[in-house]
Amino acid sequence: MDFEDIAKEVADKAVEKIIGSDLKVVKAVAETSAAAGAAVSAATGLSVAATSGAGITSGLAAAGGVVGGGMAAAPAVLAAGPAYAGAKILNNTLFKDEENLSGEERDARSAARTATNIAAAAGVAGAGMVTVAGGASGAAIMSTLAGIGGVVGGGAIAGTVVVAAAPVAVAAGVGYGIYKFFGGGKNK
């Protein structure tokens, strides 16, 4: 099983745990984010060939170095692209504005688009914060990521994928919740 297959499986499990399997669009976004996360990870050196602790920390340091933050910033850096793409996909599909819709439906979709964008940005910030929750040392970061990865049956790499994909799942859940709260789906 290669890294992209692992990333897809972890993203699927994370979406099911966080949101449920009812939203087909959310699953598609999660798959997109997993693929994007895998591509970013591979480009920064976090690949299957680098599954040792030293290899993973080097890959994380390289990814976080993109913004000058080192290893601690890596999950937020890896989450930024998928979060942006996921919010954009959700907003352009599930919450797309259409002139022929009722006013209530259009308002609900507008509120959902705003909520999705805010939740995606907050999710990226959260990805950075959760990574250093146990401390900012390399050992603490690896322990945190391994603990998160353990929830879905993996290790530190799986934890990195979960942390990078979580903002998309959060954005989808918050956006959908706001959409329903504002009456979306009742009268299109």
Nearest Cα neighbor of 146 from 156, 136, 133, 158 is 156
Per residue in 93-106, pLDDT (tens digit) is: 999 999 999 999 99
Q: What's the pLDDT at 67?
A: 83
**pTM of this structure:** 0.69
Q: What's the pLDDT at 49?
A: 45
Q: Lowest mean pLDDT: which of 52-66, 151-165, 168-182?
A: 52-66
- Long-range contacts of the stretch 130-139 (C-beta < 8 A, 24+): 130/75, 130/163, 131/72, 131/74, 131/75, 131/76, 131/163, 132/72, 136/72, 138/57, 138/71
- Rounded alpha-carbon distances, angstroms, from residue 173 to 91, 94, 109: 13, 12, 14
Q: How far apart are CA 52 and CA 57, in angstroms?
A: 9
The two structure tokens encoding residue 38: 């895998």
- The residue length of the chain stands at 188
